């Protein structure tokens, strides 16, 4: 059951808070232009990686890049059957995040948040030397982290939207619904990231964190959801939300509450993601 009557609020079009400060710091031209939307968790996971890996980029929200009337807005937030041509040149599905790579002539494009994370890892390996993954000397540990990331995409992300979009209590309740040896555990410490006390930001932190962050505000506000209690989980969420690379990509709570009202009331054609959840299809 929804917490309030649908007031008709729509998604925000500009970052606020620390995210806005980060946008201003990345307003100059770079070899990579990063196209985003201020409330989108798929964007945030790639943005966290850009910040942590230290890869130079210019942040560009679609409304500032294409001024084409009502279609100038963000990717999956416009009419899902009508996309501005400039957006489709970066992302054929019309979804954020997207990258435009200016070191190529003509410039090339890249989309899909998980692919972008992998690309940024490769770029950083030969430039900044930073990584969100365990060392390349242990490919099995890296594979285990990727399995965790795959689980985030297949289970956590769809569950978030099913829970938020469900319009009756029974459906909301329903929507909530491999080991390694000691050597792997040691070398996975970097990949396990902030789950380990004293660790640094890891790949799965970036992959899952944006949805956990929204659960603490959006799901709490619209569904009365409370985070699971547990010393280790609570410590992980606090370390994640307090990490400089994570905080740098966060807007103020009101932005998320306004932007997700349409999901909470399951308005028709809210986004491609919402349509996929309603039809039982995989996410686009």
CB under 8 Å, gap of 24 or more: what pairs does 107-114 form?
A: 113/42, 113/43, 113/45, 113/46, 114/149, 114/153, 114/207
Of 97 and 87, which is predicted with more confidence? 97
Average pLDDT value for residue range 44-51: 98
pLDDT class of 106 with cuts at 50, 70, 90: very high
pLDDT of residue 84: 61
pLDDT of residue 197: 82
Domain locations in the chain as residue ranges: 17-279
pTM: 0.85
Average pLDDT value for residue range 260-268: 92
pLDDT of residue 173: 44
pLDDT of residue 179: 41
In the chain, % of residues over pLDDT 70: 81
Please write the tens of the pLDDT for every residue from 180-224: 444 434 444 455 688 888 889 999 999 999 999 999 999 999 999
3-state per-residue secondary structure call for the chain: CCCCCCCCCCCCCCCCHHHHHHHHHCCCCCCEEEEECCCCHHHHHHHHHHHHHCCCCEEEEHHHHCCCHHHHCCHHHCCCCCCCHHHHHHCCCCCCCEEEECCCCCCEEEECHHHHHHHHHHHHHCCCCCCCCCCCCCHHHHHHHHHHHHHHHHHHHHHHHHHHHCCCHHHHHHHHCCCCCHHHHHHCHHHHHHHCCCCCCCHHHHHHHHHHHHHHHHHHHHHCCCCCCCHHHHHHHHHHHHCHHHHCCCCCHHHHHHHCHHHHCCCCCCCHHHHHHHHCCCCC
Is 17-279 a domain of CATH 3.40.190.10? no
Strand-pair partners of 254: none
Of 42 and 84, which is predicted with more confidence? 42
Tell me how far apart the alpha carbons of residues 119 and 222 are, in angstroms, rounded to a whole number: 35
Mean of all residue pLDDT scores within the chain: 83
Of 211 and 62, which is predicted with more confidence? 211
Please write the tens of the pLDDT for every residue from 212-257: 999 999 999 999 988 888 899 999 999 999 999 999 999 999 999 9
Tell me how far apart the alpha carbons of residues 135 and 141 are, in angstroms, rounded to a whole number: 8
pLDDT of residue 65: 52
pLDDT class of 73 with cuts at 50, 70, 90: very low
Q: Is the pLDDT of residue 276 over 80?
A: yes
pLDDT class of 168 with cuts at 50, 70, 90: low
């Amino acid at each position: 059951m929804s917490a309030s009557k649908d007031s008709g609020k729509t998604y925000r079009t500009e970052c606020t808070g620390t995210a806005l400060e980060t946008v201003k710091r990345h307003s100059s031209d770079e070899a990579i232009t990063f196209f985003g939307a201020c409330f989108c968790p798929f964007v945030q996971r790639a943005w966290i990686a850009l910040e942590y890996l230290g890869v130079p980029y210019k942040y560009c929200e679609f409304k500032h890049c294409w001024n084409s009337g009502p279609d100038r807005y963000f990717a999956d937030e416009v009419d899902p059957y009508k996309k501005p041509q400039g957006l489709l040149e970066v992302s054929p599905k019309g979804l954020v995040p997207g990258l435009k790579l200016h070191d190529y002539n003509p410039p090339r494009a890249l989309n899909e948040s998980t692919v972008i994370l992998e690309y940024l890892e490769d770029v950083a390996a030969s430039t900044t030397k930073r990584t969100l993954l365990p060392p390349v000397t242990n490919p099995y540990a890296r594979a285990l982290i990727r399995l965790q990331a795959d689980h985030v995409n297949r289970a956590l992300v769809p569950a978030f939207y099913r829970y938020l979009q469900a319009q009756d209590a029974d459906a909301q309740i329903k929507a909530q619904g491999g080991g390694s040896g000691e050597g792997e555990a040691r070398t996975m410490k970097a990949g396990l990231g902030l789950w380990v006390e004293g660790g640094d930001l890891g790949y799965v932190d970036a992959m899952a964190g944006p949805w956990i962050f929204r659960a603490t505000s959006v799901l709490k506000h619209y569904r009365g959801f409370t985070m699971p209690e547990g010393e280790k989980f609570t410590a992980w969420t606090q370390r994640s939300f307090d990490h400089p690379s994570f905080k740098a990509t966060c807007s103020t709570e009101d932005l998320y509450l306004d932007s997700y009202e349409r999901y909470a009331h399951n308005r028709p054609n809210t986004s491609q993601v919402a349509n996929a959840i309603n039809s039982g299809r995989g996410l686009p």
